[in-house]
Structure 1
């Protein structure tokens, strides 16, 4: 067996003793004094009874919970403020022109629709019966669609032009 070879046995034993005693000296000189100081500090801090330790542990837990809740409330408040500021900034910078154009188009359509209804009331006087009122509403909506550039929907079968293009395709 190579571990018990008489030629290498002495060198193996030498290096084992060297590292073992080196490790022992480092432990005694550096690590154990630091550990003993730490134990003395802990013992001096725990001079009370176990019940006192439990009370201090519960107090520590309650304080940390209170701090956590306050941190979450502050985070929520700050986040809400940031969201509101970001929305206002985005609306002022990016969407301002778009909002102005949208409001202008709504004003134009509202004015045009008001004018159209005024003209329809001149052409079709107020209806005397519900059926005449339904006809008046239908023609008004059809006129509004044509006025705003929307074509009326074709009948169920579709137009002849659409059927002929389907057949040719």
Structure 2
């Protein structure tokens, strides 16, 4: 049996359209895109890469640095300081954490990172915002140490990391802390 060019077009063109829709559906979810941003942002902190750190930070989060010479200048100063080296170590632990729960609701999201350190379960939450089609970190991470040994404990210590917040600590915090 021989197919005419008309028959081939009537079968092939719709088939290609279905394949294109299927391929688009197989693209990355918003959660995956946001998680990739979080991973890249944490790696920028680990590497002390001020330029990349600022590229992945939400515009609103960069504004406080404008009076101090800009995000890159402040980030570089922090990364080069003893507190910045501590922050890099914390970010390295977070980057290697296996549990990264990312939730997205429209143009906002949260990345909750749970990891073990010093025999304790620790919890870090990053606030995320989608800007110009790309996910950005809105808040520097704040860690809650669950001294009760499990997530969900009502008491703990909070330690904040990142440019402008490196080295600060608060005790007696309830729940997961975030900075804005």
TM-score normalised by length of structure 1 = 0.25
Higher RCO (CA 8 Å, separation ≥ 6 residues): 2
Structure number with the higher helix fraction is 1
TM-score normalised by length of structure 2 = 0.24
Structure number with the higher strand fraction is 2
